[in-house]
Amino acid sequence: MSARVSIRDVAARAKVSLATVSNVLNRPEVVATATRERVLAAIEELGFVRNESARQLRSGRPRAIGLVVLDVSNPFFTDVARGVEEAASEAGHAVILCNSAGSATREARHVELLAEQRVHGVLITPATNSLEAVDGLRRRGVSVVLLDHPARLEDTCSVAVDDRTGGELAVTHLLAEGHERVVMVNGPAHVHQAAERHRGAVDAVLRAGRDPELLETIVMPTLDVASGLRAGEQLLARPVRPTAVFCANDLLALGALQALVRGGARVPEEVAIVGYDDIDFAAAAAVPLTSVRQPRHLIGRTAAQLVLAEADTSRDHEHHHVVFTPELVVRESSRGPRRRRTASRR
Ligand code: RIB
């Protein structure tokens, strides 16, 4: 078996210094193109394979970033993770995905493990508004970017979407479709995304000069399909059903849609439904779902690029607070003739 090819062999073959080979491996952007290509050709010819574990032992830091999400089963977060992974991979980093499942205890455990691993940075959608986990990471010198969270901390970058505008877009659309009343199926108030969407829904009613009473809110314990099913069944059981439902995310909306259609309600003729996120399943639903689109992949890419930039230039890094604007995607689940609609009787 041939002796292991070393970084010295590569430098000799390419007629460059050891530092140049190291730069090609770790910071290719600082090496002139012709030199970089000569070194890569030597790596290919000699069959050089970097000894990542030896590098980690020397530098003590894995080429990895952590990603802590609220709910790994929600396609919103897997779409965000895809953007994170793409940007991290382009920079030669892996991603360690952690799921807090909305639990502050689980979040704290994941954060501790990531800090012990001395990852280059952590992207986190906090499970609570306390941001204690974020403070702990920063105290240990770990770069942090708040993901899908608008907190404007002076020493921490953040990437979010203007959820208040998103909620307003959804309810303005339903009012414009002629609905007299709207039921919002929301998540717990401590989930800031849900709280902001609700604020936007109220804004829409007030801006339309309508009675705030026309917006009724049902708070579910979780933002998933199971809660959406339960909410849909509750609405079906009412003697007078609402004609318009805005759900705080697509999983709630898909659950409510399933319950309503299964119970014989016609969507959108009898009940119009609007979701939030515009995950791929929204367009693929039995009745294609109107939804407020969040730029999920871009959210992930942007957050990853910010955390890697800070990790590379932590001392003079300028913190950024990026807020994307959502857009309404109208589909069959809420589209209908523009006419005054009152609640439908069973
Ligand atoms: O985690 C709950 C929701 O917040 C997700 O569906 C997505 O909308 C996020 O912003």
pLDDT (0 to 100) of residue 56: 56
Following DSSP, what letter does each residue of 137-192 receive, concatenated?
A: HHHTT-EEEEES-----TTSEEEEE-HHHHHHHHHHHHHHTTBS-EEEEE--TTSH
Task: In whole angstroms, give the CA distance from residue 55 to residue 126.
Answer: 32
User: Any idea what the CATH number is for the domain that residue 140 is in?
Assistant: 3.40.50.2300
Same domain? For 100 and 167 the reply is no
| Residue with CA at minimum distance from ligand 1 atom 4 | 193
Same domain? For 285 and 176 the reply is yes
Residue 5 C-alpha to ligand 1 middle, in angstroms?
48
The verdict on residue 252 lying in a domain is: yes
Does the beta carbon of 249 lie inside 6 Å of ligand 1? Answer: yes
Phi-psi region of 15 (alpha: psi -120 to 50; beta: other; left: phi over 0): left
The verdict on residue 57 lying in a domain is: no
| Residue with CA at minimum distance from ligand 1 atom 2 | 223
Same domain? For 131 and 208 the reply is no
The verdict on residue 281 lying in a domain is: yes
Same domain? For 156 and 301 the reply is yes
CB 274 within 8 A of CB 245: yes
The verdict on residue 55 lying in a domain is: no
pLDDT (0 to 100) of residue 278: 98
Range of the domain at 101: 62-161+296-325
Does the beta carbon of 305 lie inside 6 Å of ligand 1? Answer: no
Residue 332, C-beta contacts closer than 8 angstroms, at least 6 positions apart: 267, 268, 287, 288, 290
Ligand 1 pocket test: which of 68, 70, 196 has the largest number of ligand atoms within 8 Å of its C-beta? Answer: 70
Same domain? For 137 and 232 the reply is no
Same domain? For 320 and 237 the reply is no
According to DSSP, residue 341 is labeled B
Amino acid identity of residue 45, one-letter, is: E
The verdict on residue 258 lying in a domain is: yes
User: Any idea what the CATH number is for the domain that residue 35 is in?
Assistant: 1.10.260.40
Tell how far CA 239 is from the center of its chain: 38
Show pLDDT as tens, one digit a residue, over the chain (346 residues).
Answer: 456 788 888 999 999 998 898 888 877 888 899 999 999 999 989 888 776 555 555 566 678 999 999 999 999 999 999 999 999 999 999 999 999 999 999 999 999 999 988 899 999 999 888 888 888 888 888 899 999 988 778 889 999 999 999 999 999 999 999 999 999 999 998 899 999 999 999 999 999 999 999 999 999 999 999 999 999 999 999 999 999 999 999 999 999 999 999 999 999 999 999 999 999 999 999 999 999 999 999 999 999 999 999 887 756 778 899 999 999 999 999 987 655 567 766 6
Ligand 1 pocket test: which of 219, 223, 281, 299 has the largest number of ligand atoms within 8 Å of its C-beta? Answer: 223
What is the chain's Cα-based Rg? 25
The verdict on residue 132 lying in a domain is: yes
Does the beta carbon of 80 lie inside 6 Å of ligand 1? Answer: no
Does the beta carbon of 76 lie inside 6 Å of ligand 1? Answer: yes
Position in ligand 1 atom list of the atom nearest CA 277:
8
The verdict on residue 262 lying in a domain is: yes
Residue 251 C-alpha to ligand 1 middle, in angstroms?
9
Same domain? For 167 and 248 the reply is yes
Does the beta carbon of 70 lie inside 6 Å of ligand 1? Answer: yes
Quick one: angle between helices 75-90 and 296-312, nearest 10?
40
Residue 32 C-alpha to ligand 1 middle, in angstroms?
43
pLDDT (0 to 100) of residue 1: 42
Other CB atoms within a 10 A radius of the CB of residue 247 amount to 33
pLDDT (0 to 100) of residue 22: 84
Residue 223 C-alpha to ligand 1 middle, in angstroms?
8
Residue 76 C-alpha to ligand 1 middle, in angstroms?
7
Residue 336 C-alpha to ligand 1 middle, in angstroms?
27
Same domain? For 176 and 285 the reply is yes
Between the CA atoms of 227, 271, 215 and 279, what dihedral angle is there, to the nearest 10 degrees? 50
pLDDT (0 to 100) of residue 51: 67
Same domain? For 174 and 208 the reply is yes
Domain count, the chain: 3
The verdict on residue 234 lying in a domain is: yes
pLDDT (0 to 100) of residue 196: 97
Same domain? For 135 and 185 the reply is no
Quick one: angle between helices 132-139 and 104-117, nearest 10?
10
Same domain? For 155 and 200 the reply is no
| Residue with CA at minimum distance from ligand 1 atom 6 | 249
